[in-house]
Amino acid sequence: MIFLKEILLGNAAIALGAVTAGVKVVSGYPGTPSTEVLESVAQYNRDGKIKVEWSVNEKAALEIAAGASYCGARSMVTMKQVGLNVASDPLMSLGVIGTKGGMVVVVADDPGPISSQTEQDTRHFGKYANIPVLDPSSPEEAYEMAKYAFELSERINLPVILRPTTKVCHSSGTIEVDESRFEDETEGFVKDSKWVIFPPLSYRRHLEIEKQQGEIADIFDRLSFNRIEGDGKYGIAAGGVTYAIVKDIIDTYNLNVILLKSGAVFPAPAKLYHEFLLRVEKVLVLEELDPVIEEQLYHVLAVNNFHKPIFGKLNGFVTPAGELKFDNTLKIIEKFMGVRLGNVEESIGTEGIELPLRSPVLCAGCPHRASFYAVKKAMKGKKIVSCGDIGCYTLGNAKPLEMTDTCLCMGAGITIAQGIKKAEPDTNAFAFIGDSTFFASGMTGLANAVYNNTDINVIVLDNLTTAMTGQQPHPGTGKTMMNTSSPKIDIASVAKALNVGFVEKVNPFDHKKAVKVVQEAAAYQGVSVVIFEAPCVTLFKSEEVCRIENCIGCKKCINEIGCPALYVKEGKVAIDDTLCNGCGLCKNVCPTGSIK
Amino acid sequence: MDILIAGVGGQGTILASKILAYAAVIEGRKARTGETIGMSQRGGCVVSHVRTGGSHSPYIPVGGADLLLSFEPCEGARNIAYLKKGGKAAINTASITPVSTALGLSAYDGDKMMKYIAENSKAVFIDANKLAKESGSIKAVNSVLIGAAFGLGVLDLSEESLRQSMKKNIKPSFLDLNMRAFHSGVKEVEEMRTKC
């Protein structure tokens, strides 16, 4: 064994853990904060022995990993928490059918939320589907848990959920990398009626799986990911990265508390919880998202018929939403212990200074800005609802474009627009969807619109990549994660095959033509699809920059398109040439032709 | 040692944090970083936390940072609460105007913000954009600022460890220009210190 010390992002640590454990098939769909897990596997896959793919969506990805597991191969699937909603259909059934080769379902949760629609807690999905959940507190532990998850899965013949949160995924730790690799031969698919889900089988399996939960809990009682540390009369129970924060607080202030660490969190290590509860006078539960450990502790109290005061989210002691950081966690611990520890109030404040807002924006030169502007110009003075979707283009909601009126979940723009059109027939219902999202979940919605004769206008923002999550390839790019090429799927051809009556492709930077095409699409009775095709600015290097001369200071360019490269200097507009990439959209806005 | 790195999405704060953290590993210590990756990267506020002192969590408490490295004046001011009282700071003076300011929705007064930082910390202010461009690329702002931090004499890392870490974490074709940028940052700060 060779050990190398590396600084690894939590996501890379999970990838390396899986590679060390001999994973053979890895599938996933990009989503912050999970994306780098699969990308890192692809980087470590120098000999190409691991089959790595970005699947079209999470449901497809989970089924691919399941198929590989049926053959006895170790497999892993990666996604963000809302992706598991999409993959919940196969997950629920897989919890009944079970697996053969070790199968790990990596689902990244996002307390805050920082880059997500919801603050949902994947630990509930484990309970819902009777699938064990491991919850790492650091990149180092994520690495160990990733390796262990495959072993556990093979021991119990069930998939295992590895559920890191953003502060584990996107923090890095010092990992001692084990260069050895677990190797075994894949047996291959063995025909057996156990792989075919039927009601009588589901009934039998349900009995077995419920019995198995107790056996897994017994394993978790003895697992080092779960443990009791320290001494004192008060108890703190913590899971995930919150455990690490609590440890820092205990170390910083030399606190005497009994700390319960819950890492293998479902099924609950009930005997360990019982032992912890017997030793403490009262308990504070610190965990991000939902009160899962807290409810488990109440359950142990109820089953064992005794009482200890528990302080947490359920009695309003801990905030139900958002992140637990060092400073708010410290305040909660101070309140719980009735002591004053920190002096956060004495730190250098920012009250004495006015700070401008700096929200995320579409990049300078982003083709989405040109697309939104073209639709805005084309539909000026008309009644329009713009249904957005998930991707960089959700940022089209910001001033001054304000071209995103709704955003719900992946693929919902096309179908929400149909609902709006049905309820309010005199509005122009527009749906904006990115290329990767179109393949993930836009096609079924489009088929629905054609089938039900709904007059909507679909704008596909095709920037030739999955941009928001960091430029992943998709079926329209013809590139794969195995460094091979595949036949590109053409979105216009897909729309035509679905019998969409109006299909046009146009470069959004060809402003006049773009406006004209949108007007034609809006006038068309029936489903129209306009594909705005132009590459994401991160895909190429532009040497060009826009120049501004004789600006009259009307600021129409800034007020209409809000490009981050445009700013005001001494009453006139200036261009930041470190940001500008010369897309030229502002030239179409300037009333005096001052931008070259 | 706790270092907070602040900037605007796209400026290269993550590479800076990795270089600092790996330099500590080269010296046989354990390091952690906490990053901002995702939606905020699109021109929003980003911070990286670098911790080399054996902490359990990757995020520096308010009032805990020994050093603040800021790629942009406003982001330095925004994150000054993380700095220990009397902590040191290296601030890039080149500003990036937020769209909200261009639209007239919020004011941006760079001089006022830098004055506030100067009053509340031991800070040096350098035009890291200019030094990076002179070294060969605007992208080398991160190396200039690491150089500035080293020049301040506050890092508990040797120049050799930093050099090795840069070699490991920067593509070979960009290494020379980044080393030039590093040295220009060191020189700039050392000259400022002798003037004082």
Contacts of A399 in chain B (CB under 8 A): 99, 103, 105
Separation of alpha carbons A53 and A75, rounded Å? 12
CB contact under 8 A, A347 and B99: no
Contact status, residue A536 vs residue A465, Cβ threshold 8 Å: yes
Give me the half-sphere count of Cα atoms (radius 13 Å) on the Cβ side of residue B33: 27
Residue B102 contacts A where some CB pair is shorter than 8 Å: yes
| Per-residue pLDDT tens over the stretch A218-233 | 999 999 999 999 999 9
Nearest to A347 among B21, B63, B98 (CB): B63
Q: Decide if pLDDT at A2 tops 60.
A: no
Average pLDDT score over residue span A322-329: 96
Separation of alpha carbons A338 and A340, rounded Å? 7
CB contact under 8 A, B116 and A9: no
Contacts of B39 in chain A (CB under 8 A): 32, 114-115, 360, 468
Contacts of B95 in chain A (CB under 8 A): none
Q: What angle do CA A176, A22, A79 make, to 5 degrees?
A: 85
State the nearest Cα–Cα gap between A468 and chain B, in angstroms.
7
Q: What is the mean pLDDT of chain A?
A: 96
Domain ranges of chain A: 3-219, 227-341, 367-539, 541-596
Nearest to A350 among B22, B38, B78 (CB): B78
Distances (CA, A) of A561 to A369, A489, A568, A583, B129: 7, 32, 14, 12, 26
User: Which regions of A414-486 does DSSP assign to beta strands (E)?
Assistant: 428-434, 457-462
Whether residue B103 lies inside any domain: the answer is no
Q: Percent of chain A beyond pLDDT 70?
A: 99
Contacts of A562 in chain B (CB under 8 A): 99, 102-103
Using left for φ > 0, alpha for ψ between -120 and 50, and beta otherwise, residue A254 falls in left
CB contact under 8 A, B39 and A32: yes
Nearest chain A residue to B120 by CA: give it.
A348
Residue B153 contacts A where some CB pair is shorter than 8 Å: no
Nearest to B116 among A33, A353, A362 (CB): A353
Q: Which of A103-107, B24-28, B34-38 shows the lowest per-residue confidence on average (mean pLDDT)?
A: B34-38
| Per-residue pLDDT tens over the stretch A508-542 | 999 999 999 999 999 999 999 999 999 999 998 88
How confident is the model at residue B121, as a pLDDT? Answer: 95
Where is pLDDT greater, at A254 or A352?
A: A254
Separation of alpha carbons A210 and A206, rounded Å? 6
CB contact under 8 A, A167 and B40: no
Separation of alpha carbons A279 and A286, rounded Å? 18
CB contact under 8 A, B63 and A251: no
Q: Decide if pLDDT at A3 tops 70.
A: no
CB contact under 8 A, B21 and A326: no
| Per-residue pLDDT tens over the stretch A393-438 | 999 999 999 999 999 999 999 999 999 999 999 999 999 999 999 9
Q: Percent of chain B beyond pLDDT 70?
A: 98
Residue B85 contacts A where some CB pair is shorter than 8 Å: yes
Nearest chain A residue to B17 by CA: give it.
A172
Nearest to A327 among B21, B61, B105 (CB): B61
Q: Decide if pLDDT at A344 tops 70.
A: no
Q: How many CB atoms lie within 10 A of CB A226?
A: 21
Whether residue B165 lies inside any domain: the answer is yes
Nearest to A568 among B85, B102, B120 (CB): B102
- One CATH from 3.40.1390.10, 3.40.47.10, 3.40.50.920, 3.10.129.10 for A227-341: 3.40.50.920
How confident is the model at residue A352, as a pLDDT? Answer: 81
Q: Decide if pLDDT at A189 tops 80.
A: yes
CB contact under 8 A, A171 and B58: yes
Contact status, residue A10 vs residue A168, Cβ threshold 8 Å: yes
Residue B112 contacts A where some CB pair is shorter than 8 Å: yes
CB contact under 8 A, B100 and A362: no
Residue B121 contacts A where some CB pair is shorter than 8 Å: yes
Contacts of B21 in chain A (CB under 8 A): 7, 172
Q: Decide if pLDDT at A463 tops 60.
A: yes
Q: Decide if pLDDT at B74 tops 80.
A: yes
CB contact under 8 A, A353 and B113: yes
Q: Which class does domain A3-219 fall in?
A: alpha beta
pLDDT band at B196 (very low <50, low <70, confident <90, very high): low
Q: Decide if pLDDT at A205 tops 90.
A: yes
The architecture that CATH gives domain A367-539 is 3-Layer(aba) Sandwich (3.40)
Separation of alpha carbons A146 and A105, rounded Å? 10
| Per-residue pLDDT tens over the stretch B82-133 | 999 889 999 999 999 999 999 999 999 999 999 999 999 999 999 999 999 9
| Per-residue pLDDT tens over the stretch A357-382 | 999 999 999 999 999 999 999 999 99
Separation of alpha carbons A257 and A230, rounded Å? 6
State the nearest Cα–Cα gap between B178 and chain A, in angstroms.
18
Return the closest-CA partner of residue A100 out of A138, A127, A62, A73. Answer: A73
Nearest to A7 among B21, B83, B107 (CB): B21
Residue B45 contacts A where some CB pair is shorter than 8 Å: yes
Domain count, chain B: 1
Q: Which residues contact A371 (CB under 8 A, 6 or more apart)?
A: A432, A459, A461, A508, A514, A532
How confident is the model at residue A382, as a pLDDT? Answer: 97
Report the CATH number at residue B161. 3.40.920.10
pLDDT band at A180 (very low <50, low <70, confident <90, very high): confident
Residue B196 contacts A where some CB pair is shorter than 8 Å: no
Mutate to test the interface with A, among B4, B18, B39, B93 (most CBs of A within 10 A): B39
Nearest to B100 among A330, A350, A359 (CB): A359
Domain A541-596 annotated CATH 3.30.70.20: yes
Separation of alpha carbons A315 and A285, rounded Å? 11
Return the closest-CA partner of residue A79 out of A139, A18, A164. Answer: A164
Query: The domain containing residue B112 runs over which residues?
Result: 2-95+108-195
State the nearest Cα–Cα gap between B183 and chain A, in angstroms.
22
SS3 B8: strand
Residue B21 contacts A where some CB pair is shorter than 8 Å: yes
State the nearest Cα–Cα gap between A519 and chain B, in angstroms.
28
State the nearest Cα–Cα gap between A188 and chain B, in angstroms.
39
Mutate to test the interface with B, among A4, A247, A330, A348 (most CBs of B within 10 A): A348
| Per-residue pLDDT tens over the stretch A235-277 | 999 999 999 999 999 999 999 999 999 999 999 999 999 999 9
State the nearest Cα–Cα gap between A167 and chain B, in angstroms.
7
Interface size A-B, in CB pairs within 8 Å, comes to 193
Q: Decide if pLDDT at A343 tops 80.
A: no
| Per-residue pLDDT tens over the stretch A129-140 | 999 999 999 999
pLDDT band at A587 (very low <50, low <70, confident <90, very high): very high
How confident is the model at residue A350, as a pLDDT? Answer: 82
Please determine whether the domains at A227-341 and A367-539 fall in the same fold group of CATH.
Answer: yes
CB contact under 8 A, A251 and B56: yes
Average pLDDT score over residue span B44-52: 96
